[in-house]
Amino acid sequence: MRIKCIKILNNRPNRKDLGKKTEDLKVGKEYIVLCLYYGQEGVLYFQFEGDSGGLFIFEADQFEVLSNYVPSNWEITTKCDPDGRYYLKLSPQSWNSYVNSYKGFDMSFYEEITEVTWPLKEWRGDHNMPDVVKLFFREKDRIHREEKEYRLKHGGGKIADPKPSISKRDK
C-alpha cells in the first residue's frame, strides 16, 4: 500500500494543522505502509518508516491512498489494547508470530524492535545486526519490492477513490 501525505495534523482530540513538514512527515511525499490498524473508535491508522527513520503510526486522514495493494506477507489479526479496546491489524505474519526470550521475558516483535538503536537503516550491512532487525528488513524489503512490482504492472496504481479500503485486494 502506497500513500502520499496531503496534510500534517497533531493527534486527537485537538486536530490542528502542523504545516508542510515535520521531522517524520512531508506533505507531498510518498510512503509505503508496513502495517494498517483499524480502531474500535472508527479511525484508520497507517504505520510506516518516517523521514527520521523511526516506525510511526499516523491517522489515515492525513494521506491519499495511491495504491491499495495488500502485500502477500500481511495477515489480519484482532488485538485488544491495555484499555480493553479492540482493533484490527494488517501486518506481516512473521512480525505477529515473533516471540523472543529477552532478559528473561518473552518479547513480541514490536516490544523488541523498540529496544534496538534507531534509526534502523543504520543497521544495514552490520554483521552484528539483531535478529529482530533482520526480520524487520526482510519483511519491509518484501513489501517495498511487491509494491514496486504492482506499480510497474499497473502504471502507478492510483485509485479513483482516495478513501482507504481494507476490504478488497487489487488483482
* pLDDT per position as a tens digit, 145-165: 999 999 998 876 554 333 443
**pLDDT in the model for residue 45:** 92
Residue 69 burial (10 A CB sphere; 0-12, 13-18, 19+): buried
With a pLDDT cut of 90, the percent of the chain lying above it is 44
Q: The whole model's pTM is what?
A: 0.82
Beta bridge partners of 170: none
Beta bridge partners of 36: 46, 90
| Identity of the residue numbered 155 | G
Output 155 or 74, whichever has higher pLDDT.
74
Tell me the three cell numbers of residue 131.
535478529
**pLDDT in the model for residue 156:** 64
- pLDDT over 80 (residue 144): yes
> CA triplet 27, 29, 35: central angle to 5 degrees?
105
- When pLDDT is cut at 50, 70 and 90, the band that residue 96 belongs to is confident
Cell 491499495 sits at which residue?
68
Min mean pLDDT across 8-17, 21-30, 45-54, 88-97 is at 8-17
Range 127-135 average pLDDT? 90
Range 55-74 average pLDDT? 93
Tell me how far the alpha carbon of residue 167 is from its chain's centroid: 17
Q: Where are the domains of the chain?
A: 2-154
Range 119-130 average pLDDT? 87
Range 119-125 average pLDDT? 86
Tell me what the pLDDT averaged over the chain comes to. 84
- When pLDDT is cut at 50, 70 and 90, the band that residue 166 belongs to is very low
Tell me the three cell numbers of residue 25.
512527515
